[in-house]
Amino acid sequence: MVRVTWSAPGKVIICGEHFVVYGGLAVAAAIDKRAYSTVSLRDDRIVRIGSKQIGTAEWLDGKLVKESSKGVGDRLEAYRKMVEALLEKYGRRKGVSVTVDSQIPRASGLGSSAAIAVATAGALLDALSADFTTDDVVNASLVAESELHYRPSGIDPTVSALGGVIRFRRGSKPQRIEPQKAFELLVIESGRPRRTGEMVRKVAQFRELHINLFDKLMEVSDMVAEEVELAIQNNRIERLGSLMTVCHNLLRAIGVSSRELDEVIDRALRAGAYGAKLTGGGGGGAVIAVASEEVTRQLISRHSDRYTFHRVVLPQEGARREKAEGKEGQPG
């Protein structure tokens, strides 16, 4: 039996989320928490998708025939569509089993759904012995992301597939940003789930009402993103922090922050962090901060009863094959 496992990382957006949907510049990075997906080729026509965090569902010819509990099929439907699109594209008339296990906190703005899609697409293409590229993995992942999120820019699966720190603009080839040495971000979960679709719609409404203002804010965001890139390249961490705070204030201006996120950021800044911002869709989810070792330890010590902290060293590797059984050769 052919069985292949791939993994893909979650992500943080360091600058430019939401503006990136409308062609703005963004900087994003892969993090060290990963999603794992194991694909096994079946002899029947069943497509079975199981998640250790959600449950299991089975489909036959596109129709849900079994689920471990009510609603699981709906929650996994986006991945089913991606899997079946790939099976059809590569002419496979039999089914597959997919088993997913993710370390990435869900509804946190850390790219859990994109990492699952990237890992699953990579594993399935590998299992099918397809001749494929990173772009093929990203494009396949966007089938799932388009089902899960309103107007995805593509930044999440792109940085998950590529890894590292990247400069991203919709419609352009992403470029790697190479820091002189590794650096650390502090990821702080606010405790309130992120609401990406709702926030994207909210920004669309803001832009419709204030198109000239939005365009000016996007120009400023692009300028800040350029400076963020330079700060990362030159390991100017204090400058990076101050720029991240500017990014957050731009996101507040278009209405995607929340009381909970602002509270986390205020606590980080009052403790002496160089800077902090929301990351991802907003409305909830996670905050990223840059701080000295002393301030990082103080924040964790003082607030670990209130928030969940993750110390993340950048850059990190992108999607990769973890294991392959029953086939020869390496993925394309």
Q: What is the pLDDT of residues 48-66, one digit of tens each?
A: 999 988 999 999 999 999 9
Catalytic pick among 126, 136, 156, 222: 156
Number of other residues whose CB lies within 10 A of the CB of residue 176: 11
Q: Measure the CA–CA gap between 323 and 329, rounded to whole angstroms.
A: 12
- Cα torsion through 113, 117, 120, 125, rounded to 10: -170
Does the annotation count 32 as an active-site position?
no
What is the structure's pLDDT at 198?
85
What is the structure's pLDDT at 328?
58
Number of other residues whose CB lies within 10 A of the CB of residue 227: 18
Cβ atoms of residues 83 and 38 within 8 Å: no
Strands (E), the chain: 3-15, 25-41, 46-51, 55-60, 63-67, 96-102, 165-169, 175-177, 183-189, 275-279, 286-290, 308-314, 320-325
Q: What is the pLDDT of residues 187-218, one digit of tens each?
A: 999 988 877 778 889 999 999 999 999 999 99
What is the structure's pLDDT at 107?
78
Q: What is the pLDDT of residues 275-319, one digit of tens each?
A: 999 999 899 899 999 999 999 999 999 999 999 999 999 999 999
Which domains can be identified in the chain, with CATH numbers? 3-16+28-172+318-325 (3.30.230.10), 177-314 (3.30.70.890)
What is the structure's pLDDT at 18?
95
Residue ranges, the chain, pLDDT below 70: 328-332
Q: How buried is 208 (Cβ within 10 angstroms: 0-12 exposed, 13-18 middle, 19+ buried)?
A: exposed
User: Distance from CA of residue 213 to its chain's centroid?
Assistant: 28
pTM of the shown model: 0.94
Counts for the chain of helices (H) and strands (E), in that order: 9, 13
